[in-house]
Structure 1
């Protein structure tokens, strides 16, 4: 009898190992398809099967899966998104081609285009910031004038806060538009820019599986004009009414976008008119969110997603209630990382669940003002928010590093 395999398209520094573990616990053999398997350290360290294939080419992946069918019973296919969210569209089409469980490719594709997503949400009456689509500098300027400064300016396609900036005056607007359209920002399709009203207020996110809201967390970002996450907390500190409002809007988003299979993540700001939707991501969030949900609720959301992928029923019941916090380590300057340490001492602090450093000494640090700026994280959990905050602060204080600034700015 052929061994059951789970196909993972590309990998992920945070979620990748969690999917590997979940697959193995379910008796599945994980196989990664990647344009460059060497970029995922865990594949080599765990001696996992990986196949080099152009993951931007759907036909190439179909051919590779047909070859695998000769040796394996492919139980399911899923994948990860990086800055190219269209990869998840190809994953959905791959599932559809082999008649395996997966999301609707058309719904995923519509959702990945943030302007199309905004239009569909607007038609459904979902509360959102005012927005305009722009393709030229003059469009950006006129859109900002119509909405009123300050505005958020960002690519209509992309993730991880790449290319996202708060523009508080027309000088900043011109500077960022030049960056986006002047050749420095990498576009994977024709440039399309969203100009949006700046929604002021605390940040929240709802994580869903199927048609259920499984967790609502809060996030804290660094100082404007960029949006680099500094901290994530589950559960968010909300009243029962506030929780219900976010949950209800989240489910309305899923219906408006034709989602409802598998995971999704909806980002909010709580403004003076209540919660407004900033973005809907038709996938499980990366980084520390799955780990935080497991610590806070006792729910392994990755394992439950894998169950769906292979056609099984998932169990979304929480088994406990705690407070889990992730603090991200973000340098305040560019340069060469001379040394970094204290992670072992931080990991030994009672209540700390995880300490990870993403960098090693003698490597250049060049901040891009997006999620890649983080050089590590600390996760802690306990029975109360106050206690967890104290634990994580104690641990973070133990981690130190030194950066020697560049003598001259590196070439971009």
Structure 2
């Protein structure tokens, strides 16, 4: 009998998508990608991955595709894309496979419903309004009487997220969101009070905190993530508060199995929950966790979805890891320099640049603006941070 299948419902185009397929292979399974557009994923050809064309927005179609995989059997099903984690979980449960609660995932995917639910359960969230017209958005910002974050109620990767300083600016941005003008179209717009304290994410597996990530965000009015540090320097009461708020939120929404990436900001010294992502972190945070703790979170999620024991973490001292992204801006790439210099830096573990001269780049003010990264690993957090910052500074992407 051949190795059992492991189904991947679509994938993220950057970050851990490839890692999921490779983890399934390491665990003796055959990854198969269920997708509407295999050309979106360069790693499919690189890995010689099996592909099944299917309308992945249709739960019944995905279920039928899984049943059609044949006598070798399906060991598990998952997705590295937030958009498809609910479908993967629902199909997994229909087939009697281990999977998180699809209802909890659906709740977390709708940021307005998540806010309402958490507020009813006493979890601190920003003051917010769910709006369906620009006029409603303008009224909400006027009522807040301070800068507000205006974003789609369902979205990911900072797409369509912008702080607006007054009702007129908020109404203009809402019109763009609702009409899909240069951003993914939204049906509901979330308006919330801007929380300006430091941002963190708490990484969770099966209701247990793996660690806390310090997040770096670009300049207003957008929220493009420019880097991360793991583990964050949050010992004492701050770390305890971040952890307890996170676990209370996950219990409230019922997401107690599978991965979760929970984002919070400090409002003064009190954590305020921004969103619950029912998936592993993006932004290559799982790689930082691996470098720092010796834990392969992708392999853990794949093993869990297949009902297998989690891989044993590497037996070594804990370390610190940082990532900084390359954000070159808009235009045509004239030259790329400094990559070898960046790689030669002390504590630098990985340098990736995805652009080359002649490429035309556009800025979307989201995760799509990241054109590469540097990762550092060191014994002390300050050394990891300094190394990543220095390596990023060595790289110059000149635009014309």
| TM-score bracket for the superposition, by shorter chain length | over 0.9
Instruction: Report the 3-state secondary structure (helix = DSSP H, G, I; strand = E; otherwise coil) of the residue aligned with 1:69.
Output: coil
Instruction: Report the 3-state secondary structure (helix = DSSP H, G, I; strand = E; otherwise coil) of the residue aligned with 2:171.
Output: helix
Q: What is the rounded CA distance, in whole Å, between the counterparts of 2:219 and 2:288 in structure 1?
A: 24
Q: What is the rounded CA distance, in whole Å, between the counterparts of 1:245 and 1:94 in structure 2?
A: 35
Q: What is the rounded CA distance, in whole Å, between the counterparts of 2:180 and 2:200 in structure 1?
A: 33
For residue 377 of structure 1, report the CA deviation from its aligned partner: 0.6
> CA deviation digits over 1:365-400, x for unaligned, max 9?
110111111111110010012221232233223211
Matches of residues 134-145 of structure 1 in structure 2 within 5 Å? 134-145=131-142
Q: Say whether residues 1:38 and 2:35 are aligned partners.
A: no
Partner of 1:270: 266
User: Do 2:109 and 2:277's aligned partners in 1 also have CA atoms closer than 8 Å?
Assistant: yes
Partner of 2:28: 27
Instruction: Report the 3-state secondary structure (helix = DSSP H, G, I; strand = E; otherwise coil) of the residue aligned with 1:285.
Output: coil
Q: Which runs of 5+ in 2 are unaligned?
A: none
For residue 187 of structure 1, report the CA deviation from its aligned partner: 4.9
> CA deviation digits over 1:294-320, x for unaligned, max 9?
111111111111111111233687853
Matches of residues 6-405 of structure 1 in structure 2 within 5 Å? 6-12=6-12, 13-70=14-71, 72-81=72-81, 85=83, 87-185=84-182, 187=184, 191-314=187-310, 319=315, 320-331=317-328, 333-404=329-400
User: Do 2:142 and 2:166's aligned partners in 1 also have CA atoms closer than 8 Å?
Assistant: no
Q: CA RMSD in A?
A: 1.8
Partner of 2:3: 3
The TM-score normalised by the length of structure 2 is: 0.95
Instruction: Report the 3-state secondary structure (helix = DSSP H, G, I; strand = E; otherwise coil) of the residue aligned with 2:129.
Output: strand
User: Do 2:141 and 2:166's aligned partners in 1 also have CA atoms closer than 8 Å?
Assistant: no
User: Do 2:350 and 2:376's aligned partners in 1 also have CA atoms closer than 8 Å?
Assistant: yes
Q: What is the rounded CA distance, in whole Å, between the counterparts of 2:119 and 2:312 in structure 1?
A: 30
User: Do 2:142 and 2:167's aligned partners in 1 also have CA atoms closer than 8 Å?
Assistant: no
User: Do 1:38 and 1:44's aligned partners in 2 also have CA atoms closer than 8 Å?
Assistant: no
Query: Which 10-residue stretch deviates more, 38-47 or 220-229?
Result: 38-47
For residue 144 of structure 1, report the CA deviation from its aligned partner: 0.9
Aligned positions, number: 398
The TM-score normalised by the length of structure 1 is: 0.92
Q: What is the rounded CA distance, in whole Å, between the counterparts of 2:313 and 2:121 in structure 1?
A: 29
User: Do 2:63 and 2:91's aligned partners in 1 also have CA atoms closer than 8 Å?
Assistant: yes
Q: What is the rounded CA distance, in whole Å, between the counterparts of 1:261 and 1:183 in structure 2?
A: 34
Q: What is the rounded CA distance, in whole Å, between the counterparts of 2:223 and 2:89 in structure 1?
A: 29
Q: What is the rounded CA distance, in whole Å, between the counterparts of 2:276 and 2:262 in structure 1?
A: 4
Instruction: Report the 3-state secondary structure (helix = DSSP H, G, I; strand = E; otherwise coil) of the residue aligned with 2:68.
Output: helix
Instruction: Report the 3-state secondary structure (helix = DSSP H, G, I; strand = E; otherwise coil) of the residue aligned with 1:3.
Output: coil
For residue 53 of structure 1, report the CA deviation from its aligned partner: 1.8
User: Do 1:148 and 1:197's aligned partners in 2 also have CA atoms closer than 8 Å?
Assistant: no
Instruction: Report the 3-state secondary structure (helix = DSSP H, G, I; strand = E; otherwise coil) of the residue aligned with 1:227.
Output: coil
Q: What is the rounded CA distance, in whole Å, between the counterparts of 2:179 and 2:111 in structure 1?
A: 21
For residue 5 of structure 1, report the CA deviation from its aligned partner: 1.7
Structure 1 residues 236, 316: CA separation in 2 closer, same or farther (over 3 Å shift)? farther
